[in-house]
Amino acid sequence: MRKFFIYSLFAVVFLGLTGASQADEFWKKWPAGKAKGPMPPCGVNVIALGGDDILQATVDIYCGVKPGNYKSFIHPKAFATYKVRGSKYPDGIVGVLVFKQIDAVFTTEIKGGKPIYDVLQISTGKSIASSDAGHPLNPATCEKCHASFEGVCKGFVCGNRF
Ligand code: HEC
């Protein structure tokens, strides 16, 4: 009985540890991307402040959730392409956009040349993407902007456009 108890205890600790690793900030040691800043409140004209059309569109879509400051990190394997604004990223995760204040991270991944977008809750590592049409956290919304906004983003990456 005692042995069983000890085994169960191990199982609990082990599950606890693997559970915790899911919430690891896997981008922690990646190089920082250029995209970073405060998300201004709704109604702010960022073009007047030196921003461009795509940033204005982004602010207009995401200001409502008051996401606070954001920072981007680029996967080391994708960084060489990022630096030269390449359009062909290797398969795998390209980069993340971290919104610490709202416990959310946007992720862009490439699979067979095609982008996959997701939104994860930082503390749990679980997806909080939406499947509602037109929802700001629906991957189709990400796609609309990252893949086709006046061709501004290269290789589905937007933060290196300047
Ligand atoms: C209306 C346009 C727009 C939408 C919608 C949008 N993004 Fe972005 N995204 C941007 C812009 C612009 C940047 C760079 C911000 C900057 O320069 O400060 C960016 C940056 C990022 C980055 C950092 C890497 C990079 O491309 O520079 C990731 C990752 C990202 N977005 C993923 C997503 C995901 C996932 C969604 C959907 C949940 C999404 N985005 C929705 C415009 C958009």
pLDDT above 70 for 8: no
Q: Return the residue whose CA atom lies nearest to atom 27 of ligand 1.
A: 159
Give the pLDDT confidence of 48-61 residue by residue, as tens digits: 999 999 999 999 99
How far, in Å, from the CA of 157 to the mean position of ligand 1?
7
Average of per-residue pLDDT across 137-150 = 96
Residue 2: pLDDT band with limits 50, 70, 90: low
Atom of ligand 1 nearest to the CA of 138: 38
| CA separation for the pair 62, 124 (Å, rounded) | 22
The answer to whether 61 and 33 are in contact (CB under 8 A) is no
pTM of the model: 0.89
Lowest mean per-residue pLDDT among 19-23, 44-48, 74-78, 99-103: 19-23
Cβ of residue 105 lying under 6 Å from some atom of ligand 1: no
Average of per-residue pLDDT across 113-120 = 97
Cβ of residue 81 lying under 6 Å from some atom of ligand 1: no
118: number of Cβ within 10 Å: 17
Q: Which residues pair with 74 in a beta bridge?
A: 95
49: number of Cβ within 10 Å: 10
pLDDT above 60 for 41: yes
Helix and strand numbers (H, E) in the chain are 4, 5
Cβ of residue 39 lying under 6 Å from some atom of ligand 1: no
